[in-house]
Structure 1
Amino acid sequence: MGLDGAQGRRVDLMPDPSGSAGRMPTQASSETGVGFPLASWVAESRPVAEAGVYRKGYRSAPSTSEDAAVAPWPLLIRAVLNLLAAGLTYKYGSLLALYAVKLTIWPPHPTDAQIVFGDYLTRGVVAVLVISLFGRMGRWLEVYRRYLTPSALREMGAVLRARAITVEQETQSTVATPVERAPALDPWAQLRQAGLGEALAVVEEDTRAGRVSDVDYVRIHRVWREVLAEPGLVGAFGEQVAVRGAGACAHPSEARDLPVRVAEHDLLVGQVRLGVTQEVPKNPATHRGSGFALDREVLATSLLAVGPAGTGKTSRLARPVAEALCLQALARTACVVVVGAAEAELGPDAGYDVVIAPGDPGSAYGLDLYGASRDTDAAAARLADALLPDELSARAQSARMALQQVIGPFHAGYGRYPGVRELRALLGGDEESWARLVEELRAKEQLALHEPDVQHRRSRHGKVDDPGALLADRLALLDRPALAGCFESGGAGAKPAFAMRALEHPLRVRVKLPERGHPEAARILSRLVVGQFLQAAVAREDRSLFAGLVVDDASSALDAGAVQGLRRLPGANAGAVLLLRSLVDLPEALRVPLFGAVGCRMAFPGIAPWDGKLFSEAWGTVLVRERAVTLAPDTSGGMLRKAGRLARKALSGTTAQTESVTTREVERERWSPSDLAHALPTGHAVVSLTTVGGEQVPPLLVDLRA
Structure 2
Amino acid sequence: MPAPADGSAFLQWLHTPRPEAAPGLWRFGYRPRLQETDGKVSDRALLTGAVGALLAALLVWSLWVNNLVPHKRILLELVTPSDWWGIDPPRAAFTASAIYDSLFATLVLYYFARVGNWKEVLRRYVTDRPQPSRALRAAVLGALLAWLVAWHGFLSYYKLAVSVTPGSWLFVPGDAVATLNRLKMLKTVLTLLILWPLAVAGDWRGLLRGRQGAARQAADGPGEVPAAGGADWPDLHAYGQHAVAERLTEEARTGRMNDVDCVRIRRAWSSVVADPARLTAFTSAVLSDGARACLHPSGQRDLPGRTTLHDLLTSQVRIGRYADTERTPAPQRAAGAAVDPGTLGTSLLVVGPSGSGKTARLVRPIAESLALQALSGQAALVMVGAAGSHMGADHGYDVVIKPGDRTSEHDLDL
TM bucket normalised to smaller: 0.5 to 0.7
Matched with 1:275 is 320
User: In 1, Cα distance between the equivalents of 2:390 and 2:25?
Assistant: 26
Match of 1:245 among 267, 290, 308: 290
Q: Flag the 1:301–1:63 CA change in 2: closer, same or farther, 3 A.
A: closer
Matched with 1:187 is 232
Matched with 1:55 is 27
Alignment of 1:301-450 (within 5 A): 301-367=346-412
User: In 1, Cα distance between the equivalents of 2:355 and 2:2?
Assistant: 31
**Residue identity matched to 2:31:** R
Q: Flag the 1:261–1:237 CA change in 2: closer, same or farther, 3 A.
A: same
Asked if the contact 1:218/1:268 (under 8 Å) is kept, the reply is yes
Q: Flag the 1:296–1:168 CA change in 2: closer, same or farther, 3 A.
A: farther
Calculate the TM-score normalised by the size of structure 2: 0.53
User: In 2, Cα distance between the equivalents of 1:224 and 1:169?
Assistant: 37
User: In 1, Cα distance between the equivalents of 2:267 and 2:342?
Assistant: 18
Asked if the contact 1:54/1:290 (under 8 Å) is kept, the reply is yes
Offset, 1:71: 3.4
Offset, 1:184: 6.1
Match of 1:64 among 15, 23, 36: 36
1:295 matched to 2:340: yes
Q: Residue 335 of structure 1 aligns to a residue in which SS?
A: coil
Q: Flag the 1:219–1:68 CA change in 2: closer, same or farther, 3 A.
A: farther
Q: Flag the 1:45–1:349 CA change in 2: closer, same or farther, 3 A.
A: same
Matched with 2:212 is none
Matched with 1:212 is 257
Q: Residue 49 of structure 1 aligns to a residue in which SS?
A: coil
Alignment of 1:506-517 (within 5 A): none
Q: Deviations over 1:221-244 (max 9, x none)?
A: 111111111112111111111111
User: In 2, Cα distance between the equivalents of 1:273 and 1:365?
Assistant: 33
Offset, 1:168: 11
Asked if the contact 1:271/1:324 (under 8 Å) is kept, the reply is yes
Asked if the contact 1:53/1:293 (under 8 Å) is kept, the reply is yes
Match of 1:46 among 11, 14, 18: 18
Offset, 1:320: 0.3
Offset, 1:202: 4.1
Matched with 2:270 is 225
Asked if the contact 1:202/1:243 (under 8 Å) is kept, the reply is no
Q: Deviations over 1:381-408 (max 9, x none)?
A: xxxxxxxxxxxxxxxxxxxxxxxxxxxx
1:27 matched to 2:14: no
Q: Residue 170 of structure 1 aligns to a residue in which SS?
A: coil
Offset, 1:172: 4.7
Q: Deviations over 1:189-236 (max 9, x none)?
A: 321332222234543332122121111111111111111111121111
Q: Residue 337 of structure 1 aligns to a residue in which SS?
A: coil
Q: Flag the 1:36–1:302 CA change in 2: closer, same or farther, 3 A.
A: farther
Q: Deviations over 1:509-553 (max 9, x none)?
A: xxxxxxxxxxxxxxxxxxxxxxxxxxxxxxxxxxxxxxxxxxxxx
User: In 2, Cα distance between the equivalents of 1:353 and 1:169?
Assistant: 42
User: In 2, Cα distance between the equivalents of 1:287 and 1:41?
Assistant: 22
User: In 2, Cα distance between the equivalents of 1:355 and 1:36?
Assistant: 36
Asked if the contact 2:24/2:338 (under 8 Å) is kept, the reply is yes
**Residue identity matched to 1:219:** R
User: In 2, Cα distance between the equivalents of 1:168 and 1:269?
Assistant: 34
Calculate the TM-score normalised by the size of structure 1: 0.32
User: In 2, Cα distance between the equivalents of 1:201 and 1:51?
Assistant: 35
Asked if the contact 2:308/2:318 (under 8 Å) is kept, the reply is yes
Offset, 1:301: 1.5
**Residue identity matched to 1:27:** P
User: In 1, Cα distance between the equivalents of 2:408 and 2:331?
Assistant: 48
Q: Residue 310 of structure 2 aligns to a residue in which SS?
A: strand
Offset, 1:183: 4.6
Alignment of 1:394-543 (within 5 A): 487=413
Offset, 1:346: 0.7
Q: Which runs of 5+ in 2 are unaligned?
A: 38-119, 129-217
Q: Flag the 1:309–1:287 CA change in 2: closer, same or farther, 3 A.
A: same
Q: Flag the 1:310–1:267 CA change in 2: closer, same or farther, 3 A.
A: same
Q: Residue 350 of structure 2 aligns to a residue in which SS?
A: strand
Offset, 1:313: 0.9
User: In 2, Cα distance between the equivalents of 1:350 and 1:364?
Assistant: 13
Q: Residue 349 of structure 2 aligns to a residue in which SS?
A: strand
Match of 2:223 among 171, 174, 179: 171
Offset, 1:186: 4.1
**Residue identity matched to 2:11:** A
User: In 2, Cα distance between the equivalents of 1:168 and 1:324?
Assistant: 37
User: In 1, Cα distance between the equivalents of 2:282 and 2:387?
Assistant: 40
Q: Deviations over 1:79-131 (max 9, x none)?
A: xxxxxxxxxxxxxxxxxxxxxxxxxxxxxxxxxxxxxxxxxxxxxxxxxxxxx
Q: Which has the higher helix share?
A: 2
